[in-house]
Structure 1
Amino acid sequence: MTVLETDALIVGAGFSGIYLLHRLRDQLHLNVKIVEAGSDVGGTWHANLYPGARVDVPSPIYSFNIEETWKDWNWSEAYPGQKELQAYFQHVDKALSVGKDTFFNSRVNSAQFDTTTARWTVKTEDGKTFVAKYFLPAVGFASQNYLPTWKGYESYQGIINHTAHWPRGGVDVRGKRVAIIGTGATGVQVTQEWAKEAAETFVFQRTPNYALPMNNKTLDPASQKQMQKDTGDLIAHAASTTGGMHFHSATKALADWENLDDAAKHVNQMYDEGGFKFWGASLADITVNEDANKFAYDIWAKRVRERVHDPVKAELLAPLEAPHPWGTKRPSLEQDYYEQFNKPNVHIVNTKKHPIVQFTPKGIMTDDGKIYEVDAIAVATGFDASTGSLSRTGIHDLDGVDLGTRWKNGIISLHGMTVPGFPNMFLPYSIQSPTPFTNGPVFIQFQADWIRSMIEKMEKTGIRYIDPQLKAAQEWRAEVQAIANMTLFPKAKSWYQGANIPGKPVEQMYYLAGMRMYFERCEAARDDKFAESFFSA
């Protein structure tokens, strides 16, 4: 058996993995390798092939802040689609020579740290063994799909695919009857595409998506040239914001407005400007104050209902009474999602009232006995966020207990990047950090820089390994939960709390106080509070 020795082993060749490769290999000059389960670079953007897959952060800030990758790259759209993003990763691969240090089609199934050697031994399903001082699972927060256990699922004789496992050749639905199960981001995107081509479309909705206008547009050559010139400055500006976006968060709460008509005008303007501005730049207290939240929801619902002609469909898509506080479940960006429901052949099946009970050879049955016969089904039921992919990687602590078991009663980590009992393991873009409330590439850059600085500190001072102190991790967990409990987020059952996965502990999985405060905590642990935060040897 061949054992490959390396300073650092990264799992995953998406944004996180490539950022870390660049920071550790090209800047610290360490021997670094990536193992990637897929056949190419790109992570999510290599895997997500479902119809309409598109990013919800505008270019160019959804990209690497590495000059070699943007100095000769032009984006064609404000919100690029999957094909362009995959082409971008091919460009990044060439610019940074990612492929030469990446093992593709290799899925990690075992990882264990040995304090005697201060090394991780990591094995893959295809028989490779790696020994590394630093282990960095950069698997993202949405890479493990969730498929409910429906009775008769295997009996269905038509075309059926989960959006996370879409065939590379696509699915031709022209003239067919189709169903989309789920109305999260992928469900919205698939619906927008399939409803334009299918003979009849059934959207199975349990909870309405509080979707916002994307306002996508094609960029002309002059705009492309100017954007390329400004990329560095635009990303730097995004890095100065609470969520790594192109706008700063709202500073005025609802009570700060002397005139509610003026407040409504501002909130409507944020809706019209598109993207996540309605969520992040409308009212400062939108997710902490029930009155402000209702004020925003009522405006959003009115705007959506103006776009949907059928009052029954309008009530299902944007109920007069909010099913949950606005923004406590992730809103999606849409292009013409609501207009699709103005077509007489596009239907909404209310699965909150009549849940799916089983599949039949020809379609889907709900609990009222109705069978929806369709030729193709898109299962858009989402992901076992963050912990799902990590728990299935075979990572074991110093006592041989796997990570999934360690977290079966709740997550324990320090800043979401290190875990007690797992020395020299760093987790980017994962749990107990602001992950899903940020623009991924900008936030990942911060984390990659922090990880690089920690490893540089260890290398310069001769530290063999670090292990976060359990007390420090418990205090971090308490802070994550305490901040969440000051908001309206606990009033909604969402994947932010793991509530979408049966049997998973329901807890706030992400840090809600924003990037700046988060990194103040991380920098303190690295510097002034290092001894309080980590055991080192």
Structure 2
Amino acid sequence: MTHSKSTRASNSSASSWVTALSMENAERDASRDFYTEVLIVGGGFGGVYALYKFRQLGLNVKLVEAGSDFGGVWHWNRYPGARVDSEFPFYQLSIPEVYKTFDFRERFPSHTELRRYFDHARNVLDLDRDAVFNTIVQGVTWSNGKWTCRIKDGRIIACKYLVLCTGSSYKKHLPAFKGLDAFGGTLLHSAAFPEEGVDVKGKRVAVIGNGSTGVQIIQELAKQDCDLSAFIRTPIMALPMKQRAIPAQEQESLRSFYDALLKASKASKAGFPYNNQVKTFSDASDTEREAVFEELWARGGFAFFLSNYVEFVTDKTANECIYNFWAKKTRARVQNPVKRDIVAPLKQEHYFGVKRPSLEQDYYESIDKPNVTLVNLKANPIREITKDGIQTNEHHKFDIIILATGYDAMTGSLMDLRIRDREGRLLQELWSDGVETYLGLMITGMPNMFMVYSPQAPTALSNGPAIIESQVDWVISAISKMEADGIKTIEPQRLFAAKWRKDIQEMNAKTLYPLENSWYMGANIPGKVREQLMYLGGVDAYNAAIKDALVEWKGFDLTS
């Protein structure tokens, strides 16, 4: 920690700030500009929880959201079959006013159920009074002790503390297929489905992409009256969801334990209080391993992933053994031998768990249906999109093409904000050789700016609400401490940020993650630096690290 007296101007009052902006450009309408002590960008789980906690802190706070409503990714994700793969009761915020009065209906809630949850949170917490929707931030700069955010429609918002809750999955990835703009039918990205849905009856439909989203869309559309073609490059290792309804009696009996269960989530490795194996893979016999696999498989959800032998992340033999069990279970569900070899090949094509697994309800039975065609992109790559379809080694005609091609995950939504550091350098420039944060919470040269559900934190390897709450609670503690001690700015020292990055990549090098081209590694976006974007030590170790840094402002520069 270094602590110095600030030589920069102190925050001006709201009125003098607006006057200064008006003088800067007399022709610009400044009537909708405003200043707030805390500005939150994003209205998903992170934004809602941050707004709730900052109100308790007593600071003036506003939230801006690009969409027209709360919900984050669940405001945008309306594609057929969209649902979360984190299970009840753990995929919710630990806000008693909300969880005591809301009932989930399924073990794995759908997108409509999650929007109902956010509507309930809005009403119970009166969130609207501090929220501004349809507000797209397109420029962020620091000067005179505050952040200034320029909005797409010309508005300007300034703040002392900037909290970015932009999420991991906002910026859509559109592959650079030749002729993509030439398609004369309906072209959709999975993250931009119309609210009213899409009528596929009697239509020829293509789905490009076989990640979690592709699995959900394919298994849903396969049941409808359409000719469906799924374009698959890498077969996903989907696990049985074991979906079920949640009876009201079960919900009521569990509700009194929610507080303890949600706290236990934050003390676990992955944000779920799952059991871990006591024996190592190498110490267990073949019979013991098979029994463990069968038990976890029967539980459904991510149990087979998160409660399995931990060595699968580092040991190729353990990983192959787990794959072989998965393939045996999965191949038995697919009757068509050609389709079976595409979606569950006997020879392992990629390592289990180092690409994100998906959960499915009846995906493997669905792709077996006669109205479903599988196109193996390794043998039949896409050459171009034509006016009436897709050209591989042969031509496929379609009325609708759905791009389930994912996102520029973890960094894309941050880059889109066009953030500049105190020297005026864009975040794109600062991260041109790779991401560098301190604790996944702050960036050197960007004082008083905080990130939630961010790169270099457990983020995508954990249950979202659990890691979000840990990060927001840290930000609240940091700002509370600043306000109490008269500290005007904090920012991480470059040495500590560089070490945080180095530690993550060294941890990554000991695993199987670098051997796969996953979005965990940024490998799904052409030109993106190939590096581990997640902290791999687990939620529990991460929480210990960030709390330790706060005690004596370890790794931070302060001004007062």
TM-score when normalising by structure 1: 0.97
| Residue of structure 2 equivalent to 1:430 | 454
Alignment of 1:86-485 (within 5 A): 86-114=115-143, 117-257=144-284, 259-366=285-392, 368=393, 370-485=394-509
Task: Assess if the C-alpha contact under 8 Å between 1:40 and 1:104 holds in 2.
Answer: yes
Mapped to 2, the partners of 1:250 and 1:326 lie a distance apart of: 17
Task: Assess if the C-alpha contact under 8 Å between 1:178 and 1:376 holds in 2.
Answer: yes
| Residue of structure 2 equivalent to 1:56 | 85
Q: Secondary structure at the match of 1:8?
A: strand
Mapped to 2, the partners of 1:447 and 1:377 lie a distance apart of: 38
1:534 aligns to 2:557 (yes or no): yes
Task: Assess if the C-alpha contact under 8 Å between 1:267 and 1:283 holds in 2.
Answer: no
Shift of 1:175: 2.2
Mapped to 1, the partners of 2:222 and 2:451 lie a distance apart of: 39
Task: Assess if the C-alpha contact under 8 Å between 1:252 and 1:284 holds in 2.
Answer: no
| Residue of structure 2 equivalent to 1:36 | 65
Mapped to 1, the partners of 2:337 and 2:172 lie a distance apart of: 34
Shift of 1:221: 2.2
Q: What do residues 107-135 of structure 1 show as CA deviations (whole Å, max 9, x unaligned)? A: 00111112xx3111112112221121101
Mapped to 2, the partners of 1:183 and 1:536 lie a distance apart of: 49
TM-score when normalising by structure 2: 0.93
Runs of 4+ in structure 1 deviating by more than 4 angstroms, as ranges, are: none
Mapped to 2, the partners of 1:252 and 1:127 lie a distance apart of: 60
Task: Assess if the C-alpha contact under 8 Å between 1:74 and 1:228 holds in 2.
Answer: no
| Residue of structure 2 equivalent to 1:10 | 40
Shift of 1:152: 1.4
Task: Assess if the C-alpha contact under 8 Å between 2:490 and 2:556 holds in 1.
Answer: no
Mapped to 2, the partners of 1:108 and 1:336 lie a distance apart of: 40
Task: Assess if the C-alpha contact under 8 Å between 1:14 and 1:41 holds in 2.
Answer: yes
| Residue of structure 1 equivalent to 2:546 | 522
Task: Assess if the C-alpha contact under 8 Å between 1:469 and 1:535 holds in 2.
Answer: no
Q: Secondary structure at the match of 2:172?
A: coil
Task: Assess if the C-alpha contact under 8 Å between 1:251 and 1:284 holds in 2.
Answer: no
Task: Assess if the C-alpha contact under 8 Å between 1:48 and 1:164 holds in 2.
Answer: yes
Q: What do residues 305-329 of structure 1 show as CA deviations (whole Å, max 9, x unaligned)? A: 0111122211111111211111010
Task: Assess if the C-alpha contact under 8 Å between 1:9 and 1:32 holds in 2.
Answer: yes
Alignment of 1:74-89 (within 5 A): 74-89=103-118
Task: Assess if the C-alpha contact under 8 Å between 2:487 and 2:558 holds in 1.
Answer: no
Q: What do residues 456-496 of structure 1 show as CA deviations (whole Å, max 9, x unaligned)? A: 11111111101100000000000110111111111101000
Shift of 1:229: 3.2
1:49 corresponds to which letter in structure 2? R
CA spacing shift, 1:129–1:293, aligned 2, 3 Å: same
1:502 aligns to 2:526 (yes or no): yes
Task: Assess if the C-alpha contact under 8 Å between 1:253 and 1:292 holds in 2.
Answer: no
Shift of 1:391: 0.5
Q: What do residues 505-524 of structure 1 show as CA deviations (whole Å, max 9, x unaligned)? A: 00111111101111111112
Mapped to 1, the partners of 2:558 and 2:379 lie a distance apart of: 53
Mapped to 1, the partners of 2:348 and 2:151 lie a distance apart of: 47
Q: Secondary structure at the match of 1:68?
A: helix
| Residue of structure 2 equivalent to 1:46 | 75
State the identity as a percent: 40
Task: Assess if the C-alpha contact under 8 Å between 2:334 and 2:365 holds in 1.
Answer: yes
Structure 2, unaligned runs of 5 or more: 1-29
Shift of 1:262: 1.6
Mapped to 1, the partners of 2:159 and 2:251 lie a distance apart of: 42
Shift of 1:531: 4.6
Shift of 1:352: 1.8
Q: What do residues 70-119 of structure 1 show as CA deviations (whole Å, max 9, x unaligned)? A: 111111111110111001100001111111101100000111112xx311
Task: Assess if the C-alpha contact under 8 Å between 2:218 and 2:367 holds in 1.
Answer: no
Mapped to 2, the partners of 1:102 and 1:253 lie a distance apart of: 49
Aligned length: 530
Shift of 1:534: 3.4
2:53 corresponds to which letter in structure 1? R
Shift of 1:253: 2.0
Task: Assess if the C-alpha contact under 8 Å between 1:242 and 1:248 holds in 2.
Answer: no
Mapped to 2, the partners of 1:474 and 1:137 lie a distance apart of: 21
Shift of 1:535: 4.3
2:387 corresponds to which letter in structure 1? P
2:43 corresponds to which letter in structure 1? A
Q: What do residues 337-393 of structure 1 show as CA deviations (whole Å, max 9, x unaligned)? A: 000122122111011222111111211111x2x111122111100000011111011
Mapped to 2, the partners of 1:481 and 1:36 lie a distance apart of: 33
| Residue of structure 2 equivalent to 1:22 | 52
Structure 1, unaligned runs of 5 or more: none
CA spacing shift, 1:295–1:345, aligned 2, 3 Å: same
Q: What do residues 124-171 of structure 1 show as CA deviations (whole Å, max 9, x unaligned)? A: 112221121101111001111100111111221211200011111101
Mapped to 2, the partners of 1:421 and 1:6 lie a distance apart of: 21
Shift of 1:286: 1.3
